[in-house]
Structure formats: C-alpha cells, structure tokens
Amino acid sequence: MIEPTAELSDQHDYRCSCLPRHTAPVISRDLAVRLAPHVSWTPVNGDTFFIPRPEIADSVFTVSDMVVELVVANGESRFHFNGTVEWALDSVESDEVVWLPREDQLREMLGNYFLSLDSSAGGFVVTVSGPGRAYHTEAELDAADAYARAALYVLGVEKPSALSPSKGLGRSVT
C-alpha cells in the first residue's frame, strides 16, 4: 500500500494480501517499467513478470511452485506435474525482471488514495485523492493501466495532464 505519510521519492514496499488469480488483467509493459523503480515487490504465487532481454522479452512468466503441463496423446489429455521444463532458464536475479501487477494489486497499492474507478467513452478513469488535490487519470482501455497511472501520480512520477475533472466521466464501477 502506498503510505500517505511517506516521502514520495522513497521506494515503497508493496506486499499484496490478495488471493492469486492467474487470469486477472495486468498493466502494460511500458507502465510496468515506469512503476518498477518506485515500488518493491515481494513475489507470490500467481504474480506475473517479464524479463527485458531481447531474446525473451515477449514472454510473460508466472510465479508458481510447480509447472503443470497439459499433454494430449491418442485423443486423451493428462496433466504432467514437472519441477521445471527443458527450455527453462536456470535462474534469473529478481532485480532483472519487471513485475506486471494485476488490477487488484494496484487498487490495493493505492489504499486510501483511491476514490473511484469510472467507465467513460474512452475507457476507464481512476480518481485518487492526492497528493495536493483529486486527480483523474486519462482514459485507458484497460482498468489495470488506469490504476497504474494513478499509482504513478500518487508516487509523484506522473504529472497532471490537461484532463479536466468534469471531462467524460461515466458510471462508477467501484
């Protein structure tokens, strides 16, 4: 959670008590790269990340205790429980990966700063309470990206845009 009394330039420790959900939307890679230096991440099962190396940058990885592989043979399907897969990396330092937070993790991260998530003609808009004044993100196609922009604003990374508070806010989905 972003602590309201903390210095905005400090790195914030973030631990989500959310239940892991593998299908929840995550933020874009660009926003993840911008957010990463400002939060610390304690990985838990279900978290996703990518490794910003050209040879594997398109792959998204999920933290898991064990790999489960679906094998289909002779018209029958089976699950194989593997400790690892043949092409896997041996290991990678955690500071070499970029976390892709889910929508629920970002909302929890905003804590008391979060005011609302609204749908508009252009997508989703998140409103937060600070610092200084209420702030509405620009409309994003994915709610997770709107939450990420709000977190960047609260952390002092994202600056207010020309979006006026009354511009295009639709129904609340809080």
Mind listing the pLDDT tens digit for each residue in 152-166? 999 989 887 654 343
Structural domain count, the chain: 1
Comparing 2 with 120, which gets the higher pLDDT? 120
- Answer yes or no: are the C-beta atoms of 75 and 94 closer than 8 Å: no
Q: Flag whether 129 is in a domain.
A: yes
Under the phi-then-psi rule, with left for phi > 0, alpha for psi from -120 to 50, and beta for the rest, what region is 75? Answer: left
Q: Residue 28 pLDDT more than 90?
A: yes
| pLDDT of the residue at 89 | 60
Q: Flag whether 163 is in a domain.
A: no
Average pLDDT, the chain: 78
Return the sign of the alpha-carbon dihedral for residues 88, 91, 96, 101.
positive
Comparing 161 with 72, which gets the higher pLDDT? 72
Give the residue numbers spanning the domain of 149: 12-154
| pLDDT of the residue at 91 | 75
Q: What pairs with residue 108 in β-bridges?
A: none
Q: Flag whether 171 is in a domain.
A: no
Q: Flag whether 51 is in a domain.
A: yes
Give, in order, the Cα–Cα distances in Å from 3 to each of 90, 96, 112, 149.
36, 26, 9, 17
Among the ranges given (81-85, 86-90, 95-99), the one the predictor scored with the smallest mean pLDDT: 86-90
Q: Residue 69 pLDDT more than 70?
A: yes
Q: Flag whether 90 is in a domain.
A: yes
Reply yes or no: is the peptide bond before residue 101 cis, omega within 30 of 0.
no
Average pLDDT for 114-133 = 90
Q: How far apart are CA 172 and CA 174, in angstroms?
A: 6
Among the ranges given (14-18, 42-46, 52-56, 108-112), the one the predictor scored with the smallest mean pLDDT: 14-18
Q: Flag whether 169 is in a domain.
A: no
Q: Flag whether 165 is in a domain.
A: no
| pLDDT of the residue at 164 | 38
Q: Nearest 5°: phi and psi at 5?
A: -90, -5
Q: Flag whether 2 is in a domain.
A: no
In percent, the amount of the chain with pLDDT more than 70 equals 72
